[in-house]
Amino acid sequence: MQIAERTVASFHYTLTNDAGDVLDSSDGREPLAYLHGAGNIVPGLEREMAGHVAGDRFSVDVAPEEGYGSYIDELVQIVPRESFNGVDDLAVGMQFQAQTGQGPIAVIVTDIEGDEVTVDGNHPLAGETLHFAVEVTEVRAASDEEIRHGHVHGAGGHHH
Ligand code: ZN
């Protein structure tokens, strides 16, 4: 069976950046399972998965625009420390939900200088070209329920 709309594909992957550093990998874990065509994985990878079958090994390079997006300077903001009232031990690396005109976004604290706290709403991999080494392990038909929910159930997916 080929990967196409209404199929669930499972795959092992290693994700590296331009410098060759491993950013993420399914090594030592179950393969990642996703519902093809539902936007469960980054668009540039999903497109290249189409047509592959179990056993295929290939590499995919994904530009930021088709990965986690370009790095947007405007998503970096300095806010007063008093915005974090009630947070004990505010530290670089902590993540928060920020309310914006476009709805809530996840931000990470990247710097603290006195009363000024710098937060960054970019995805940690924004601006990175993504290099995936992929091995497809299984392709199966999606269930009607999975298609309704827009995600995979069972092994490697949602349990509910
Ligand atoms: Zn579900």
Considering the domain architecture, whether residues 130 and 60 belong to the same structural domain is answered as yes
Residue type for position 56: D
**Residue 38 CA to ligand 1 centre (angstroms):** 13
Going residue by residue through the chain (160 aa), what tens digit of pLDDT does each one get?
A: 999 999 999 999 999 999 999 999 999 999 999 999 999 999 999 999 999 999 999 999 999 999 999 999 999 999 999 989 888 899 999 999 988 787 888 999 999 999 999 999 999 899 999 999 999 999 999 999 999 999 999 877 788 8
Considering the domain architecture, whether residues 131 and 62 belong to the same structural domain is answered as yes
Considering the domain architecture, whether residues 62 and 79 belong to the same structural domain is answered as no
In this structure, is residue 159 part of a structural domain? no
pTM value > 0.75: yes
What are the residues facing 61 on neighbouring strands?
Answer: 131
Range of the domain at 115: 73-120
**Residue 148 CA to ligand 1 centre (angstroms):** 8
**Residue 92 CA to ligand 1 centre (angstroms):** 34
**Residue 80 CA to ligand 1 centre (angstroms):** 40
**Residue 108 CA to ligand 1 centre (angstroms):** 28
In this structure, is residue 96 part of a structural domain? yes
**Residue 154 CA to ligand 1 centre (angstroms):** 9
Number of domains in the chain: 2
In this structure, is residue 58 part of a structural domain? yes
In this structure, is residue 21 part of a structural domain? yes
What separation in angstroms does the CA of 26 have from each of 16, 67, 96, 98? Answer: 12, 18, 26, 30
Considering the domain architecture, whether residues 23 and 56 belong to the same structural domain is answered as yes
Which CATH number belongs to the domain containing residue 142 in this structure?
A: 3.10.50.40
